[in-house]
Structure 1
Amino acid sequence: MAGLPPYSQPRMPHPRHYRVVALPGEGIGPEVVESALTVLQHLAQQHGFSVQIDRGLIGQPALVKQGSYFSEVTAQLCQGADGILFGAVTQGGLLELRKRFDFFANLRPIRPSPSLLQASPLKPERLQDVDILIVRELTSGLYFGPCGRSIEVDGSYGYHTMRYTDNEIRRIAKVALQKAADRRHHLTIAHKENALPCLPWTRLVQEVAPSFAHVTVESMLVDNLAMQLVMNPQRFDVILAGNLFGDILSDIGGALVGSIGLLGSASLNADGFGLYEAVHGTASDLAGRGVANPLGTIAAVELMLQQWGETSAADRLRQVQEQLLAAGYRTLDLSPQPGDQIVATQELVELFLQAL
């Protein structure tokens, strides 16, 4: 591992004591974050490490109490933590959080559970052995470029600018190539260079690729890639995408695994400091009903444990999830079938604790 950039290796904080900042946000965020923290604390006791939880505000609650969606108070709370566990927000705070700590490398694993193949709209045989990692650039591109509204003779118009420096593409390429080197040695670049020739993702990635000699690199137009993800997901290993394309492609993962409520993600900066969250949004229609699926946030905790180097705890967390799914326990979003047992959020947490 000598000579690799720091974000390619698990971050090892002060020995086996970790400080986590919980930012529940809005909607079902508070419910799923507290569920995941309960499981994390239980794991910590069993595996010989300790976790301090500090809670902060983001999104609408922060705007009401602190005057902005992402306040300096919250930013200072996050400073020096070993990880941030995030819930969900409707519109403000998340982009500012990502930019403040330069969480440029977003990792989104897509691994269908053998017990949930029937929950996906794809045929089960197309999902066998699917194991995809989407590496998404997270702090540049369309979401952060110049934007605005104006008026001309023809009327009002709006614009957003997709802007990437070559170095921004090169640094996310290094992350994706290293991940491919650690997995099955295949990297697919998502691009739209036929229509966006000034963003030469393929050329820039290939400039970096010789340092990862055992990785095969292919480039694919993003619209074709989206189709191939549905038709033949087994062919993919690591997918590298810019901010917009990665956002869209990773949500296809929700269809592959059976529910977007199952997907977790890690967003890392160059020091290995990370923001961990489920891929789903606020799901405001479910908020307060006690039926939200906490497995996406628990999957995010698994990624956090891996980043800390607590691999035995991370492996145990995934084993228990598979055990519960195999036993037929389902939240409402998992398309329960006859014979399955529908459980609420807190019931699922209690089952986790009992199984652990």
Structure 2
Amino acid sequence: MTARHRIAVIAGDGIGQEVVPAAVRCLDAVAERHDIAFDWHHLDWGSDHYRAHGRMMPVDGLDILAGHDAIFLGAVGVPDIPDVHTLWGLLIPIRRAFAQYINLRPVRTLPGVPSPVFSRDPIDLVIVRENNEGEYSEVGGRVYQGSADEIAIQESVFTRRGVERVARYAAALAAGRRGHLTSATKSNGIVHTMPFWDEVVRDVLADFPDVTARQELVDALAASLVLHPERYDVIVASNLFGDILSDLAGAVAGSIGCAPSANLNPPGEHPSMFEPVHGSAPDIAGQGIANPIGQIWSGAMMLDALGHAAAAAQLITAFEAALASGTRTRDIGGTATTAEVAAAVVAHLGPS
């Protein structure tokens, strides 16, 4: 019996409009081989919608998305519209309305993709980022704007429930991998929220005696990720720290263009969202040279989250084979176009 899934597709801005169709092609191809059918619902939301309507998505946008099994997002952001309108008008409201409190970002060495740093062993780690609170709160404001006395205040918000659930998710993930968990902190300089983070993480880890855990100050951890990325297994981090560390780790592994992510609602009460880490890359948008691997890998994560582990594994194997064969975009040392990479991935899926 065919498994059918209704997917909301938001290509968004910049290279999102190029890598999303490439990934959809690959997902349709692997779905055909596993008796899966995707009902793609394409939504033309993003900065063009903002220019036309003054909003990144319609007033009932979240209600529309709620009727889908998952959301497949390309990229958000353009140089001429402030991020406070683009990101806070589309990406962040989706993450929060649907309680996508886990941001999962795997990073690993890929065939044929050279790392800019030396590593004796392959990189294979996952960053679990808290995705709904922390430093990215809406609490704060500005007063005396435009004057010499102008003040900007931004409050961090850490709740016990929020820290517990991300720590528990990360510890369970580590228990199923190599059993090592690193918690990113800055409790030597941030005197309230980070000690609280440390305490709650320690409390949660008491339930995981087989997981070896340590906490590292985020600045030292950033340096260590460059010098010794192969040492890490699972890293759990706050919203801001996880955002920065995952971009750093993706670059260390070869290119942020290959980096995927999943915004997960683990209980399955709401749709989860899958997107690459790389952003809209306006400097190369429209040239057909963007790296689609991050978007394709995000699609594999979507397959896995929808219960199709075998299809997800086959798609990952196929894009790794395409990379190993030399089909690579210029950011990872090749000359292939976005479309050529997608075609190579489909070819490596084998006969349907």
Q: Same fold (TM over 0.5)?
A: yes
Q: How many pairs are equivalent?
A: 334
The CA deviation at 1:324 is 1.2
In structure 1, distance between residues paired with 2:123 and 2:245: 15
CA shift for structure 1 position 89: 1.0
Cα offset, 1:222, TM superposition: 0.6
1:6: which partner in 2?
none
Instruction: Give 1:140's match in structure 2, choosing from 103, 127, 133.
Output: 133
Letter in 2 for 1:123: F
| 1:232 aligned onto 2:236 | no
1:113 aligns with 2:110: yes
3-state SS of the aligned residue for 2:206?
helix
Q: Secondary structure at the match of 2:150?
A: strand
2:47 equivalent to 1:60: yes
Provide the residue aligned with 1:202 in structure 2.
198
Residues in 2 aligned to 1:79 and 1:159: alpha-carbon distance in whole angstroms: 33
Match of 1:11 in 2: none
What is the alpha-carbon distance in structure 1 between the residues aligned to residue 52 and residue 119 of structure 2?
48
Looking at structure 2, the residues matched to 70 and 160 of structure 1 have their Cα atoms a distance apart, in angstroms, of 26
Whether the 8 Å contact between 1:70 and 1:97 is mirrored in structure 2 is: no
- 1:3 maps to what in 2? none
Task: Tell me if the contact between 2:127 and 2:246 (Cα under 8 Å) persists in the aligned partners.
Answer: yes
Q: Paired residue for 2:280? A: 282
Instruction: State whether residues 56 and 77 of structure 1, in contact with CA within 8 Å, keep that contact through their aligned partners in structure 2.
Output: no
Q: Secondary structure, in 3 states, of the residue corresponding to 1:286?
A: coil
Q: Which residue of 326, 332, 342 corresponds with 1:334?
A: 332
How far is the alpha carbon of 1:161 from its aligned partner? 1.3
Offset at 1:271?
A: 2.3
Taking structure 1 as reference, are residues 226 and 60 closer, same or farther at Cα in structure 2, changes over 3 Å only? same
Correspondence list, 1:1-356, <5 A: 16-90=3-77, 91=83, 92=86, 93-116=90-113, 119-125=114-120, 128-151=121-144, 155-199=149-193, 200-272=196-268, 273-336=271-334, 342-356=335-349
Contact preservation (8 Å) 2:116, 2:253: no
Indicate the SS of the match to 1:265. Answer: strand
Letter in 1 for 2:139: P
In 1: Cα distance, 2:101 partner to 2:229 partner: 25
For structure 1, list consecutive stretches of 5 or more residues without a partner in the other structure. Answer: 1-13, 337-341
Counterpart-to-counterpart distance in 1, 2:207 and 2:119 = 37
> Post-superposition shift, 1:97?
1.4
Determine the C-alpha separation between the residues in 2 that align with 1:290 and 1:130.
29
Percent identity (aligned): 37
Contact 1:70 1:96 in 2 (8 A): no
Deviation at 1:213, TM superposition (A): 2.0
- The alpha-carbon deviation at position 316 of structure 1 amounts to 1.0
Residue type matched to 1:316 in 2?
Q
Code of the aligned partner of 2:242: G
| Residue pair 1:277, 1:297 contacting (<8 A) in 2 also | yes
Contact 2:110–2:320 at 8 Å: present in 1 too? Answer: yes
Q: Which amino acid is 1:107 matched to?
A: L
Name stretches of at least 5 consecutive residues in structure 2 with no aligned partner. 78-82
Shift of 1:154: 5.9
TM-score (norm 2): 0.90
Task: Encode CA deviations 1:281-319: one digit per residue, 9 max, x unaligned.
Answer: 110111111111111000101111111221111111111
Matched letter for residue 103 of structure 1: Q
Cα contact 1:145–1:163 (8 A) shared by 2: no
The alignment's TM-score, normalised by the length of structure 1, stands at 0.89
Tell me by how many angstroms 1:157 deviates.
Answer: 2.5
Q: Counterpart in 2 of 1:10?
A: none
Which string of whole-angstrom CA distances, capped at 9 and with x for unpartnered residues, describes residues 5-57 of structure 1?
xxxxxxxxx97211111011111111111111111111111111111100113
Q: Is the 8 A contact 1:180 1:238 kept in 2?
A: yes
Look up the SS of the partner of 1:292 in the other structure: coil
